[in-house]
């Protein structure tokens, strides 16, 4: 077997040079330096004409460039090289134009030695072309899967959309994201995760037609271009079958791994002109909708809703900037024992100091963050800020608990427990039982088993668990049966109407009874009047929270409120309620 020796361009028996579409020299080997008398630094970025005689410059413009433009290459053109140490040097030039990159690859030899070096020149040209081809292949190929990479996809999509006015073609573009792929890397290692990606790539490639394109877009993201005039529904059906194929178990080292994919798809052409990047964003947004819908689904981009989707994207971008520039602040609303006046704790409630619209309540911006990476980031910030404030208060001798609201999608995030434990470790002097998670009841229903496991782990860490808005969901009793909680919070809607609605009063009595039966504390939200407080105390509910007690306040106002409450406010509002 014959093996080929690996050459460096400096080993070539000819001068090698690369220029761009503006005649600038972007590469030259040592022989070019020897021929011209100019060093590598002097040549890099210089105009090619500094190396050519006047006659050769005219030859370049009138003869050589037209041939390259027409045929892409020319062979053995005689020119004169302008040297720095003597007169013009006769040379033989061959050139190849790479239209895709706009670069010209040159081989240059002395005309006096061209006959003797013919064979070497031929070999050098072949090696140079091989290297150009290899570099182009490497730059367009994903090294793990062998699929076209993001750059190749972008170039292909650009060209395809530019050609449409001439050939009238149509296609569908799909964005594929593997669901919870990070779990495979975390549980089985990145080397097995890479093998899974290779299997997925083969399944994708094997499921597509000869004219279709599949590219690896990112870590666990793929983009598919389905050629042909697909109807939107037909494209969705085809991709649903593909999603089913991807969800089949993958066996790696005797371990059977299961995962699924969320797929977003858009079609081209569209009623309005779109750019290639916009088309990719449409497919990506549709994929995101598939994630929100429960994952392992195919979602078609709705062109009619594009305006609202753009608005939400803009809103998310604004909220990301607000988080980065520290425009959010936690306010705290006290929880008290309405019978004794004891301050039990405070609930942390987020506010947004909008630079133009002023202080904004959470209901005006939190819905836009639901199940987004920005929402997760903001949740981490809330927990960290609340723990920091709790530590400050404990250091000041204010003994209480601080609670934060936590939504179901936070609890279902694969890194939630790890990140929470790391955050708690940053406050080693803080008793974890002083920190409480208030879980919105209805947010835990979709994957209740996973949420139970996460909350159970939190309780083992010492964190208290409160079930917020109890009674508004549809699995209240099963929650109490299967999940150990420390506190039930009565939803404000029942407290608000308890004085006028027999049904709401009955529900409220039932919740108080449940709390007693299951050994939980019970806190009534929405205590807004003296009458609410009196009726709650009559029913045996001592713990309350609401505007009658105190509105949410900045952290630096809490100490003054607590002093005023203990000195006079509690007496004024509660001391004679039971008499």
Residue 112 lies in a domain: yes
Q: What confidence tier does 579 reach under pLDDT thresholds 50, 70, 90?
A: very low
- 3-state secondary structure string across 184-246: HHHHHCHHHHHHHHHHHHHHHHHCCCCCCEEEECCCCEEEEEEECCCCHHHHHHHHHHHHHHH
Residues 133 and 15 in one domain: yes
- Partnered with residue 174 across adjacent β-strands are 224, 265
**What is the spatial distance between Cα 311 and Cα 378, in angstroms, rounded to a whole number?**
20
Residues 534 and 465 in one domain: yes
Q: Which of 120-124, 339-343, 372-376, 493-497 has the lowest mean pLDDT?
A: 120-124
DSSP designation for 336? E
pLDDT at position 428 is: 93
Residue 356 lies in a domain: yes
**Does the pLDDT at position 313 exceed 90?**
no
**Does the pLDDT at position 99 exceed 50?**
yes
Residue 2 lies in a domain: no
**Does the pLDDT at position 208 exceed 70?**
yes
Q: At what angle do helices 232-246 and 190-206 cross, to 10 degrees?
A: 140
Residues 439 and 547 in one domain: yes
**What is the spatial distance between Cα 169 and Cα 158, in angstroms, rounded to a whole number?**
14
Residues 554 and 433 in one domain: yes
Q: What confidence tier does 121 reach under pLDDT thresholds 50, 70, 90?
A: low
Average pLDDT, integer, range 560-573? 92
pLDDT at position 131 is: 57
Q: Which of 301, 316, 343 is the last residue of a domain?
A: 301
Residue 323 lies in a domain: no
- Partnered with residue 452 across adjacent β-strands are none
| pLDDT tens column, 122-134 | 665 666 665 555 4
DSSP designation for 10? G
Going by C-beta distance under 8 Å and a sequence separation of 6 or more, which residues neighbour residue 213? 148, 153, 156, 224, 225, 227
Residues 135 and 218 in one domain: no
CA triple 380-385-387, angle to 5 deg: 100
Specify which of 152-161, 282-291, 296-305, 526-535 reaches the highest per-range mean pLDDT: 526-535
Range of the domain at 86: 9-140
Residue 344 lies in a domain: yes
Which of 270, 374, 383, 387 minimizes the C-alpha distance to 323? 374
Tokens 């009138």 label which residue?
62
Element (H, E) at 436: strand 435-440
Task: Give the CATH number of the domain where residue 426 resides.
Answer: 3.20.20.450
Residues 546 and 442 in one domain: yes
**What is the spatial distance between Cα 351 and Cα 331, in angstroms, rounded to a whole number?**
7
137 versus 66: which is more confidently predicted? Answer: 66
**Does the pLDDT at position 153 exceed 60?**
yes
Residue 145 lies in a domain: no
pLDDT > 90: percent of the chain: 36
The pTM score is: 0.55
- Asked whether the beta carbons of 80 and 53 are under 8 A apart, the reply is yes
pLDDT at position 475 is: 45
Alpha helices in 426-541 (DSSP H): 448-460, 476-482, 492-497, 502-517, 530-539
Residues 385 and 435 in one domain: yes
Q: Which of 28-37, 70-79, 119-128 has the lowest mean pLDDT?
A: 119-128
Q: Which of 107, 140, 173 is the last residue of a domain?
A: 140
Residues 398 and 498 in one domain: yes
Q: 107 — phi, psi (to 5°)? A: -120, 130
- Asked whether the beta carbons of 442 and 469 are under 8 A apart, the reply is yes
pLDDT at position 474 is: 41
Token pair of 461, please? 């860490």
Residues 442 and 552 in one domain: yes
Q: What confidence tier does 306 reach under pLDDT thresholds 50, 70, 90?
A: low
Q: What confidence tier does 245 reach under pLDDT thresholds 50, 70, 90?
A: confident
Which of 432, 340, 324, 430 minimizes the C-alpha distance to 377? 324
Average pLDDT, integer, range 542-552? 94
How many domains does the chain fold into?
3
| pLDDT tens column, 386-432 | 999 999 999 998 899 999 999 888 888 888 999 999 999 999 999 99
pLDDT > 70: percent of the chain: 86
Residue 311 lies in a domain: no
Q: Which of 140, 168, 187 is the last residue of a domain?
A: 140
Task: Give the CATH number of the domain where residue 114 resides.
Answer: 3.30.450.20
| 456 prior amide bond cis, ω within 30 | no
| 269 prior amide bond cis, ω within 30 | yes
| pLDDT tens column, 13-22 | 788 999 998 9
- Asked whether the beta carbons of 376 and 410 are under 8 A apart, the reply is yes
| pLDDT tens column, 154-195 | 888 888 888 765 555 688 899 999 998 888 888 888 889 999
Q: 315 — phi, psi (to 5°)? A: -65, -40
Residue 46 lies in a domain: yes
b (16+ CB within 10 A) / e for 22-56: eeebebbbebbbebbebeeeebeebebeebbbeeb
- Residue 383: helix, strand or coil by DSSP? helix
**What is the spatial distance between Cα 543 and Cα 523, in angstroms, rounded to a whole number?**
5
Residues 297 and 336 in one domain: no
Q: Which of 242-251, 310-319, 351-360 has the lowest mean pLDDT?
A: 310-319
Residues 400 and 542 in one domain: yes
Task: Give the CATH number of the domain where residue 201 resides.
Answer: 3.30.70.270
**What is the spatial distance between Cα 447 and Cα 408, in angstroms, rounded to a whole number?**
9
Average pLDDT, integer, range 468-488? 66
Residues 190 and 333 in one domain: no
């Amino acid at each position: 077997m014959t093996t080929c020796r690996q050459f460096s361009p400096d080993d070539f028996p000819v001068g090698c040079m690369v220029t761009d579409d503006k005649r600038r020299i972007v590469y030259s080997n040592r022989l070019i330096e020897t021929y011209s008398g100019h060093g590598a630094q002097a040549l890099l970025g210089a105009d090619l004409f500094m190396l050519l005689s006047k006659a050769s410059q005219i030859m370049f413009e009138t003869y050589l460039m037209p041939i390259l433009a027409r045929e892409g290459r020319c062979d053995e053109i005689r020119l004169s090289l302008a040297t720095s140490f003597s007169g013009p040097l006769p040379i033989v030039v061959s050139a190849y134009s790479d239209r895709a990159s706009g670069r010209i690859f040159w081989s240059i030899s002395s005309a006096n030695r061209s006959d003797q070096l013919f064979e070497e020149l031929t070999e050098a040209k072949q090696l140079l072309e091989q290297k150009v081809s290899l570099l182009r292949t490497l730059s367009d190929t994903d090294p793990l899967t062998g699929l076209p990479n993001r750059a190749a996809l972008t170039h292909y999509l650009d060209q395809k959309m530019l050609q449409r006015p001439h050939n009238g073609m149509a296609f569908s573009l799909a964005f594929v994201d593997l669901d919870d792929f990070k779990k495979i890397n975390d549980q089985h290692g990145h080397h097995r995760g890479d093998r899974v990606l290779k299997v997925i790539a083969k399944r994708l490639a094997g499921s597509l037609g000869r004219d279709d394109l599949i590219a690896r877009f990112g870590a666990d993201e793929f983009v598919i271009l389905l050629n042909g005039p697909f109807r939107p529904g037909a494209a969705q059906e085809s991709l649903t079958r593909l999603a089913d194929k991807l969800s089949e178990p993958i066996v790696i080292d005797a371990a059977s791994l299961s995962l699924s994919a969320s797929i977003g798809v858009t079609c081209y052409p569209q009623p309005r002109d779109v750019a290639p990047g916009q088309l990719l964003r449409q497919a990506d947004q549709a994929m995101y909708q598939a994630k929100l819908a429960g994952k392992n689904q195919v979602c078609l981009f709705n062109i009619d809703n594009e305006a609202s989707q753009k608005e939400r994207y803009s809103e998310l971008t604004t909220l990301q900037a607000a988080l980065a520039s520290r425009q959010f602040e936690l306010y705290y609303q006290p929880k008290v024992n309405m019978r004794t006046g004891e301050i039990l704790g405070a609930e942390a409630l987020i506010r947004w100091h909008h630079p133009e619209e002023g202080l904004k309540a959470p209901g005006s911006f939190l819905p836009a963050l639901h199940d987004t990476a920005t929402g997760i980031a903001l949740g981490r910030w809330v927990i960290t800020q609340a723990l920091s404030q709790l530590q400050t208060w404990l250091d000041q001798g204010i003994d209480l608990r601080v609670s934060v609201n936590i939504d179901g999608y936070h609890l279902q995030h694969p890194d939630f427990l790890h990140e929470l434990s790391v955050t708690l470790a940053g406050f080693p002097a803080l008793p974890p039982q002083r920190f409480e998670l208030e879980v919105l009841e209805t947010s835990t229903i979709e994957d209740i088993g996973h949420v139970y496991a996460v909350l159970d782990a939190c309780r083992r860490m010492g964190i208290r668990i409160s079930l917020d808005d109890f009674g508004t969901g549809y699995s209240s009793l099963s929650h109490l049966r299967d999940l150990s909680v420390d506190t039930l919070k009565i939803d404000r809607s029942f407290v608000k109407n308890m004085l006028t609605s027999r049904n709401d009063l009955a529900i409220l009595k039932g919740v108080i009874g449940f709390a007693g039966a299951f050994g939980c504390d019970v806190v009534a939200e929405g205590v807004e009047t003296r009458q609410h407080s009196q009726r709650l105390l009559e029913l045996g509910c001592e713990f309350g929270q609401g505007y009658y007690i105190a509105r949410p306040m900045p952290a630096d106002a809490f100490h003054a409120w607590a002093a005023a409450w203990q000195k006079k406010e509690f007496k004024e509002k509660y001391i004679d309620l039971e008499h």
